Structures are given as structure tokens and as C-alpha cells.
Structure 1
Amino acid sequence: MITSSEPGGGRLDPGLGAIMSERRQLINLAYRMLGSLAEAEDVVQETYARWYAMSQEQQEAIESPGGWLMKVASRVCLDLLGSARARRESYVGEWIPEPLPERAEWLSGASEGITSDPAERVTLDESVNMAFLVVLESMTPAERVAFILHDVFRYPFAEVADIVGRTPAACRQLASSARRRIRAAQAPATPTAQQARVVRGFKQAWEAKDISALIGLLDPDATATGDGGGVVTATLEPIEGAERIARFFADRVDAARLAIRESTVNGQPGLVAELDGRTVSVYAFDVVGDRIKRIWAVLNPDKLRPWTAGSGQGAGAGVGR
């Protein structure tokens, strides 16, 4: 179901180069765990800080430094997931996972802490598409960690149990429960080319303010969710129903100033809105057949760092007031 990555198990020289070579694997793990690239980077920094806090003798005594780093990062993520629930309860409006661009568009922004090093990019596969990440958000921290470690990174339950602090049987149950959530939320896969055609049609209808065309592209029970984080204006509740969504989008496009372009968002066809050359919002879609079931609009500039070298804040382009 999911593209997997094998855990690193070989003996590593405890030198900087060898240890830092695990960074990509750690970023991939932490992003899936937390749905936030910024938080994933913090987890990796904390993990390395713990490694270098040890003496050389302690480091050399660790049989698999790569495995040790993954274990520590997983535990840090588990702790963060517990506190994240409380933080997100006080978040202004809806919280949406941080969207990721495709490799060709991953902009270097050294002043903002984002690297353009290919080794540090998140691998875009089924386990990072927006619909998948949103389902992960509905899981308990233990479910999420057990599922990601076992089903995505292929860790045996014995190792998962050591990380989560439960028995292998309990972790098996956690992963099974998470799997049921995924299956219940998943629709039949729509070919990428078909998704792209639907998203392109939405873009064209949006730019033309063609309400009828927009309604025709939306599932009657579609929902659109915006995330401004209280930094920029966005609707606080999801918009439900094809007609309401169509009218909302048609009323909020300024063709003279706003540039909407097609892009890859978390590995799937999406849209990016730019104002005066600066990315102000990113749109991910859940396309089922020939209709759009869900739209996620991320307007919070703190979540758009990989998309733009600028750090200005402005009004978003959609699912805003």
C-alpha cells in the first residue's frame, strides 16, 4: 500500500559525515509523524543534540548509530504528538499539515532555515499526500507512531514496542486500528493524469469565475478547509457543499493581481496562488473520479517557507474571508 524505507542498521563511523548522512531518513520519519516540516527539523536537531551530548566511548558502544538515531527521533516525535494536540486545540481555525512542493520547486531559503540539499528533502510518496496526512491527524499519538514505523518504515513490532513503550501485541493492535482508519477514509485511487485534468479544470473555472463549471467539478458534498493560523485571514470552519464552495472561490479571485498556477503538492496535482510573485496560498485536492471531494488551502505563511524565499505576510487567496 505504501512505499517503504528500510531502517538503517549498518555500523556507522560516529564522525559527523556518517551521522549526518542519516538526516534525510530522520526528516522523512519526523515529517510523517508530525505533519510539519518545521517541527520535523526541530526533532532532527534535538536527536543530533542528544547524540553529540554523549561521550565518544558511549557513541562507539552503540552497535547501530542509524538505528539509535531513528529510535530517539521516534520517541521525540511521540512526546511532541502528545503536546501537539493541546497546541492545536488553541490553534486559530483549522490546522492543516504543512504542504510540500515537488523537488524542482523546492526553493532554497537559507535565511529561513530551509535547505535545497536533495539529501534533506522529504520523499514524496503515498504516505505524504494530504488526504493521508489528514487521516494520520485523527489518530492517537501511539497509533500514529506504531503505524508509521511498521507500515511505512517497515520496523518489526518488537522494535516498535521498544520505542512506544508497549508490548509487541499492543503495537500490532495500534497499527491495525490505524489501518482501519486509513481504509475507512480512502477512496478508490484516481490516476494522477486524471487528477491533474480535474485540478486544471478547477483552476480555469476559478479564474473565469464560472460558478456552474466549478459546481460541475465538485462533489455535491465536497468540503473546503482553510488554514491561516491566525496570521492571515481565513475561514475558521470548513465550507461544505459544491455550490457554497464554488461561490466562495468565484468571489475571491482578483485576476488582475493574483496568479494561479498548477503545481505538485505533497506528490499530487495541486495549485499555488501568487501575489506580486510571492506565494500566498497552496491548495491540495482529494480527487475521486472526476470530482473534487476535498480542498485544503494553506495560507499560513509559516507553513509556506519551502514555497517562497520571501517571508512577507499578506492576505491569502482562497478559503479566506
Structure 2
Amino acid sequence: MQNLLRQHGALVALVLLLLFAGLRYQGFLGEYNLESFLRYNAMFGLIALGMTFVIITGGIDLSVGSMAAFASVIAALVSPHGVWLALLVPVLLCAALGFLNGFVISRFKVMPFVVTLGMFLIARGLALIASGKQTVLVNTEGGVGNLGQGDFLGLPIPAWMLLVLFAVGALFLAKAPYGRYALTIGGNEEAARLMGIPVEKVKLLVYTLSGALAGLAGVILASQFSAGQPTEGVGWELTAIASVVVGGTLLTGGRGSVLNTLVGVILLGMIFTVLNFENGLGHININSYWQTVIRGLFLLAVVLLQSPAFRGRLRIRPGT
């Protein structure tokens, strides 16, 4: 039982939460609520997917929220030229920013925290410059709005993007050489170098991937709200990190699961959906600021549970 909870604790918690919410709130498990949930949380899921690979290598990416805001502005600016350019240009630009993160980290051996914090400021500044510090409206005549608001085979298009990319990510981590290399680097980077693993190339890949997925999340953001928003994305990196860690990926790297990250994304999103339903019943009144506090406390609690020293203090010794 203890082993089950350690490996699949997030999934168990998600099932229990769904049972509780389904019995307590009318319409919680209804089609409208679930579709709305998937449509909105797909953005966080995409960022969490990229963050999974970064954290598995022992790194961190604090720039993804700012990149998503930048991508939303670029998508809105390019939207008059058609859906494909509005999709590809922001993704490629953010992939380039991610590549720059990986290049500085791998080539100059600078701490990922410092590099991505700098990129956090750069991307936010680029978003404000490109938008003129204003919200940029999306031209929906070219079909850009369908990316975030459309459906396909009964599911929101963002949900399809999320599911397909998570499936590809899971296969990549399990089967592709570079996926296994990422796990090895996170476990022991020096040992990975001695084994002949191309550490720099792997880091370039994971940070580029993280940037590209943040760019895709920004495109969905612009499409869903019909506007590029340079001030959006604040705290998204923490939501992504929390989802990854809740899914069981170690912050120190070397161990992780793409599918468990998806469970973490859904669990974290469901917690705030439950809080919103409680607000609707009038039993509690938790605004967006308190939800940020709860998100931070949740992340802190999960990180503490990952700490061997903390777990050791929780053990009951014989005779006590």
C-alpha cells in the first residue's frame, strides 16, 4: 500500500477528489464543465510537459509564463495572415528563446535558475514592446479562434493537442535515446559525460522543447480570449512546476514520468475547480489572490514530502 501511494499517490488523490466533487456538486462531472476544464487547463498542461523534461535533467525553467504571454501577443499580431502563421511564428520564436536558454546553460555552465530568470524578464519585456503595453485583438476571420475555441470529435481542440503531445512525450521518454539520456543526466551529469552522453545537446533539446510548448500555450491563450495579453502568464511557471512535482518527478532530476505529470496537471486544476464550486455555493470566498497562496503552499508541501530528511522526521520510531 505504501509503495502504491508513493508511485501513484497523485492518481489516487485525483480519483478521490472526483468522487467527492461528483457527489457534492450538481453538474461537476457534466459534459459542459469537463469540456471547459480541459479547454482552459490545456495551456498549463503543455507548459508542464516541457517543464517535465527540463526538471528530469536537473534543471528549471522560470521563463515559460513570460514566453506564453509573448507568444499570445505575436499570435494576435500575425493572426491577420492566417491560422498557420499565427501558430508557427510564436512557437518558433519561443523555441528560439528556449534554445538560447539551453545554449547559455550548457555552454557556459550557468545555473538554470539564473539564466531562465533573465529570460523571464527578457520575454516579458518583448511582450510589452511588441504589444505597445496594450492588449492586442486577434483577427478571427482566418480561423485562429478555432485553435482555442473549436471542437473536434466532441473534444476541445486544445485537449486534443494536449493528449497527442503527452502521448508523444511519454513515448519519447520511454523509448527514444535522448529521453533516456535526459534521465541519466538528471541522475548524475558527470557520470553521463563519462558514458559519452551528449549532455549539451540534450540540454539544448529540452529547453528548446520547453520554449516551443510555452509558445503553443500562448497561441491557445490568444485564441481562447481573442486577444494577445502581454501581462498574462504570471505564476504559470509555478503551476507547471507544481504539476510536475505532484506527478512524482524529482526536483533534483533523474526520475520522472510524463503521464504522471498529466495526472498532476488535472489534479491541481480540479482542486481549484472545486474551490470555485465552493465559492458558488457561498460556503467560502476565495479570490484569485488566495488561490495563488494555496498554489504556493501546495507546491511547498509536495517538495517537503520529497525531502528524505522531512520523511525521516515523520517516521514513528519503535517505542514512541
Mark yes or no: TM-score above 0.5: no
Decide which structure has greater strand share.
1
| TM-score computed with the length of structure 2 as normaliser | 0.27
| TM-score computed with the length of structure 1 as normaliser | 0.27
Decide which structure has greater helix share.
2
Task: State the structure with bigger RCO (CA 8 A, min sep 6), 1 or 2.
Answer: 2
